[in-house]
Structure 1
Amino acid sequence: MIIEFDSDVFRWAAREDSAWFFTAVPSELGHEIREIPRPYRGFGSVRVRARIGGTEWATSIFPLAETDSYVLPLKKAVRDAEQLVDGGPVTVRLEVLDG
């Protein structure tokens, strides 16, 4: 399954000194991902291949408790390469590898 979406970058707000940044998968797409039969992984994660601009990497998305969706962690190397900033827009392509 391959999905594409536009979202915003946000900093994990649980700690003020957090250096963790994410973007959220829209809930309608998150619901579709949840429907894919797959083995359970730690924290309910789902393995994906992500692409933002010219940067592609293997990672996992994680369930977002408040919604029926997932968040994609954005490591510093990706944010730097693609000039992503807190609150800024991002276009994401995800290939779901589990399932």
Structure 2
Amino acid sequence: VKEKPDIICLSELFLSWGKDFYGGTVKIEEIKKYQNFAKENNVNIILGSVALESNLPNKTTNTCFIINRNGTIVGRYDKIHLYKVNKPDF
């Protein structure tokens, strides 16, 4: 932020590195710190994606958020049909 970027893009599963995707979900409340960061630093942020707890029973989503410089979530995409990376084919 020292160089005042217009947008910061984080990688897919940036909060889940080193965790089992299906066991390392985050809660939507954890996204608020990125909303605050965007507002405090006047920068747009794309949260690559996070393993998010779903409202659906026994379901995890791979969710990407777009946060504007006011700290508002202005876009969201929930991927719900996930493949299992521990299958023998992978």
Larger Rg: 2
Q: TM-score, normalised by structure 2?
A: 0.29
Q: TM-score, normalised by structure 1?
A: 0.27
Q: Which has the higher contact order (CA 8 A, sep 6+)?
A: 1
